[in-house]
A = this chain, B = another copy of it.
Amino acid sequence: MSRYTSMGFLRYLLFDVHHVESLFAYDKFSHLDSEQAWMIIESAKQLADQEMYPFFKVFDEQPATYDGNGGVKTHPQLKKIIQGAAAQSWIGGSAKFEHGGMQLPEMIFNTGQHIFQAANNSVQGYLGLSTGAADLITSFGNQKQIDTYVPPIYEGRWQGTMALTEPQAGSSLSDIITTAKKTDKEYYLVKGQKIFISGGQHEAADNFIHLTLARIEGAPAGVRGISLFIIPKFRPTEDGSLCYNDVHCAGDFQKMGQRGYSTTHLSFGDNDDCRAFLVGEPHKGLSYMFQMMNGARISVGQCAASVAMAAYQASLQYCLERPQGRSASEKDPTIAPTLIINHADVQRMLFTQKSIAEGSLSLALECNKLYDQVHVSNGEEKENYLLLLEILTPIVKTYASEQGSRSAALAIQTLGGYGFTTDFPVQQLYRDLKIMSLYEGTTGIQSVDLLGRKVTMQNGKAVQLLMNSITIDLKASNDFENLAPYSNALDLELKRMAKVLIHLSGFAMKGDIERYLSDATVFMEMAGHIIIAWQWLKMAVVAAQKIKDANFKSNSLEFYQGKIHTMEFFFKYELPHSEACAKTLEDPHTLTNVKTYEMFQ
């Protein structure tokens, strides 16, 4: 079995860097201790080793495919995986006891999901969608809805989905036209088309519960007229049987990656008998959906980090086994070739991957911890955690997916021509990863969210809180002489980012919102470099302390040295591009407002 993640690194992230044990002090999580938590993670690894990773390649070779008649053929193993995961609570594990869950912190639950994502990212999506759909019903549905839909989803019998996108609207949710007609019963009648519905149909579930955005007849235009509905493919009847609910899978999309994950086109109400059950109040659907959406954005970022991690591990393994070439100064061709890991450029490619994959995963855990902290705290503390989570969400989603693609490209590159062949997993990981910058809001959408909404909310309070959080780690790093230069470098970048924001806010203050946002993606790139530098400094502080204390119980001296080294690498090779982004952002020219389309020819 090839390595696809590092258990030592996960232990370090969970316990040493992000202190999951601090959560166990809260009532909600007091039933856990560190040993139990780690056993749960290890059970995920075992499940992934046995049931998921061995099917990674075959899921790509035998993609989920529409059967021409409402069905989508999927690999038989999928059912075994979903049922195995459900049996170990990997769908409902983070739900409260009262809802059938194990009341696990997201930090624990999603570390398990990371292992699944790294092992076989096509299958983890099915689990994650079910979790998100059930959580959404639990948060905003009524008791009957919870009782009806949540248990079979957590049991892995029913598949949850999120149904937002429509052919004519794409990312622009304000333009959705799927219509819900009020009836005198407890249900609405829905009619419309939804595309790109992941997991919308497959062979491993008995029923599909689509959390669907639709517009109630007569609702206001735009996002303020959108409501959220539960639309089961088969609706439960009074006698407990299931009745076809006029939800038809009309086709699928074949894709360049994640081919084991079905992507469907759903048609609701072709026969005017698609009953939909309103969740919460009318017209508030988008705000409810954003609970699931925000979770999904963090999950996509984490998945990108996980796939990049799997690619890194595969390329590292190859570099440790493949002899080829000699050092640049070795002139004797009769000397035996060296392992390619000894070539400087190969080390550059490995450390680039390591810094991106591990840095992104650390940020994902930071977000998961914030999510947990939001849910165990109150008042201003809760609000502050939430603000931090909100500003980091688009960053983890985007950094991991954009830089993760670059990282997976380097995994291919370390294998040379072999990396391009289907004999090795790195090319599949590269193909799979490309979707992450598109799922749940493209990079452009995330960047406008960051600069247009998250930076500006509550007069910049989220930015301030983030700066405060980073400052705590800057101070901690100043305790170590070897880390001080990096602490200073990061401090400089934070000041640079503040300066950029002042520059950009000049446009906003003049009311030129277009210009304020026009380079949002460049700002996102800059912020990503800085935030990951922060994660690395945080990781380095922990490693330096371990080395100082000669505490090598959890991981070896070399492991900790590797962390400090990778931090130094990130600051030398990656962070300088933050300044380049700043230069672009401060450039006075507006070049993306061209009205004469012939200029693109």
Partner of A223, one of B170, B221, B333, B562: B333
For residue A438, which residue of chain B has the nearest CB?
B417
A324 B256 Cβ-Cβ under 8 A: no
Question: Does A467 interact with chain B (Cβ within 8 Å)?
Answer: no
A439: B residues at CB distance < 8 A: 417
On whether the beta carbons of A569 and B591 are closer than 8 Å, the reply is yes
Chain B residues near A322 (CB, 8 Å)? 170
Contact between A572 and B587, CB atoms less than 8 A apart: yes
In the complex, whether A521 has a CB less than 8 A from a CB of chain B is yes
Contact B438 A320 (CB under 8 A): no
Smallest CB separation, A47 vs chain B (Å): 23
Closest chain B residue to A342, Cβ basis = B595
Q: Is A2 at the interface (CB under 8 A from chain B)?
A: no
Cβ of B420 and Cβ of A435 under 8 Å apart? yes
Binds B, one of A122-130, A131-139, A379-387, A422-430: A422-430
- Within 318-355 of A, Cβ neighbours of B (below 8 Å) are at 320, 322, 324-329, 333-334, 337, 341, 343-351, 354
Q: Do the beta carbons of A572 and B558 come within 8 Å of each other?
A: no
Shortest CB-to-CB span from A421 to chain B, Å, is: 5
Q: Which of B409, B448, B565 contacts A594 (CB 8 A)?
A: B565
In the complex, the chain B residue whose C-beta lies closest to that of A405 is B409
List the one stretch of A36-44, A84-92, A234-242, A511-519 in contact with chain B.
A511-519
Q: A345-B444, A518-B344, A522-B573 are in contact. Are A172 and B256 (CB under 8 A)?
A: no
Q: What distance in Å separates the Cβ of A490 from its nearest Cβ neighbour in chain B?
A: 15
**Are A600 and B341 in contact, CB atoms less than 8 angstroms apart?**
yes
B-contacting residues, A166-199, CB 8 Å: 169-172, 174-175, 195-196
A462-B160 Cα distance, complex, nearest whole Å: 63
Residue of B nearest to A3 (CB): B601
B contact residues around A254 at 8 Å (CB): 421-423
Query: Is A592 a contact of B562 with CB atoms below 8 Å?
Result: no
Q: Hey, which chain B residues are within 8 Å of A175, CB to CB?
A: 324-325, 333, 337
- Closest chain-B Cβ to A406's Cβ sits at a distance in Å of 8
Partner of A568 from the list B333, B437, B522, B591 (CB cut-off 8 Å) is: B591
Contacting pair B421 A344 (CB below 8 A): no
| B594 near A329: Cβ-Cβ < 8 Å | no
Nearest to A560 among chain B residues (CB) is B599
| Chain B: minimal CB distance from A407 (Å) | 13
Q: Interface size class for chain A?
A: 35 or more
User: Which residues from chain B contact A221 at a C-beta distance below 8 Å?
Assistant: 333-334
Residue in B316, B416, B601 whose CB lies within 8 Å of A438: B416
Q: Which residues of B have CB within 8 Å of A195?
A: 417
Name A384-437 residues within 8 Å CB distance of B.
Answer: 405, 409, 412-413, 416-417, 419-423, 427-428, 430-431, 434-435, 437
A253 at the interface (CB under 8 A from B): yes
Q: Contact: B328 with A448, CB < 8 Å?
A: yes
Question: Which residue of B has the minimal Cβ distance to A431?
Answer: B256
Task: Check B420–A257 contact: CB distance below 8 A.
Answer: yes
Write the nearest CB–CB distance from A172 to chain B, whole angstroms. Answer: 4
List, in ascending order, chain B residues with CB within 8 A of A442's CB.
413, 416
Question: Given known contacts A345-B521, A573-B522, A601-B8, is B430 in contact with A434 (CB within 8 Å)?
Answer: yes
Q: Is B596 within 8 A of A558, CB to CB?
A: yes
The one of B8, B350, B417, B584 in contact with A572, judged by C-beta atoms closer than 8 angstroms, is B584
Is A447's beta carbon under 8 Å from chain B? yes
Query: In the complex the two chains form, what is the Cα distance from A350 to B354 in whole Å?
Result: 31
- Knowing A171-B325, A419-B438, the reply to whether A584 touches B591 (Cβ < 8 A) is no
Question: Residue of B at shortest CB range from A598?
Answer: B558
Contact across chains for B420 and A434 when beta carbons are under 8 A apart: yes
Is A520 at the interface (CB under 8 A from chain B)?
Answer: yes
User: Is A561 an interface position by the 8 A CB rule?
Assistant: yes
A46 interface residue per 8 A CB criterion: no
Which residues on B sit within 8 Å (CB–CB) of A600? 316, 341, 350-351, 354, 562
CB<8 Å pairs between A and B, sample of 27: A165-B417, A170-B324, A170-B325, A171-B416, A172-B325, A175-B333, A254-B422, A255-B420, A320-B597, A327-B514, A328-B514, A341-B597, A344-B517, A345-B448, A345-B520, A347-B593, A348-B592, A351-B600, A354-B600, A405-B409, A413-B437, A413-B442, A413-B443, A427-B434, A431-B431, A572-B589, A576-B579
Instruction: Pick the 4 closest A-B CB pairs, nearest first.
Output: A222-B333, A562-B599, A558-B598, A344-B518
Contacts A165-B417, A254-B423, A558-B596 known; 12 new A-B pairs at CB < 8 A: A175-B337, A221-B334, A253-B417, A255-B421, A256-B421, A341-B600, A344-B593, A427-B434, A561-B599, A565-B591, A579-B583, A580-B580
